[in-house]
A and B are shown apart, each in its own frame.
Chain A
Amino acid sequence: MPNAKVIEYYSVNSSHVVDVSLYINKLSVAESEQEDLIEVLAWQCAADVLQVMEQPELADKALNKVNEFIISNSI
């Protein structure tokens, strides 16, 4: 059974030395999130809560706030 993700690289001439290996990790607790993402996190969580409370229209409004953040910060 597959149970671990790997990164495959194609290809090198001779050296298998890695220069840069950066990733986005899952945080064990949300309070470890960086300060500048807390606002958008609050909107995402609001959307998730509203979905559970069967308020899909309000959840969409909250998700729109998340999307506005993403669009305004896209390069």
Chain B
Amino acid sequence: MTRADIILKVKARIDELSPFSSEELNPSIELIDSLLDDSDTEIRRKVPVHLVDPAIFDASSPIDNGDGTGYIPLPSDFLRLHSFKMAEWAVTLNQPISESSPKYPLQKNTVTRGGVVKPVIVIRWGYDIPGGVIGSLQNQVFIATASQTNFIVTEFTPNDEYLVYLDGVLTTAGHIRTSNVIIFTPGLAEGTEVVIAN
């Protein structure tokens, strides 16, 4: 159907409702045209998922976290998940959880996280990392105290490919890693946001 045909349909639906109005409604083509694409996005977000023809996203290169979990960047035109299944899983999922779900913290523990029989998927925001890797899911945020030099990473184990962002800027000089401690020389200014990622 052409865009003009859809716009005529919208006008017809408004005409159907007009007897309920005390004034004549005659929206312009331009107004309908300007809202139509957003209306379509809204519809694709809220109608039952089985009614919408799905598209395939590229999942050929999952990023392996090395602990049985992993993640896949989603395309920029992603609205909703239709279905997802890893080859080993017993079931296909179509209900992801978010980071605000009470189930999300459970996924950080090898005992309580989802497995191949009862898997769990999470849709969340990742991060662009210079070099083309999207979605650093392991990171820890610190706010520096005055002249602080040592930052002990406790939420994951950094390796030689660790990344440091100071106030949002990737910073490659002025720090070294000793085990899980990132050491800055000289110390940082008070209030500096330090993100250590892998």
Contacts and interface: CB of A to CB of B under 8 A. Distances in A.
A5 B135 CA distance: 8
B86 A30 contact: no
Nearest to A21: B59
A49 B14 contact: yes
Nearest to B55: A25
B32 interface: yes
Interface residues of B, number: 88
Contacts of A33: 1, 6, 40, 43
Secondary structure of the A side of the interface? mixed
A73 B51 contact: yes
B122 A22 contact: no
Contact of B73 (A1, A4, A41, A50): A4
Contact of B64 (A16, A20, A28): A16
Interface string A42-61: 11111111101101011001
Q: Which 4 A-B pairs have the closest CB atoms?
A: A2-B125, A21-B59, A18-B59, A22-B82
Interface of A: 1-31, 33-50, 52-53, 55, 57-58, 61-62, 65-66, 69-70, 73-75
Interface of B: 1-3, 6, 9-10, 12-14, 17, 20-21, 25, 27, 31-32, 35-60, 62, 64, 67-89, 92, 96, 107, 113-116, 119-128, 134-135, 137, 168
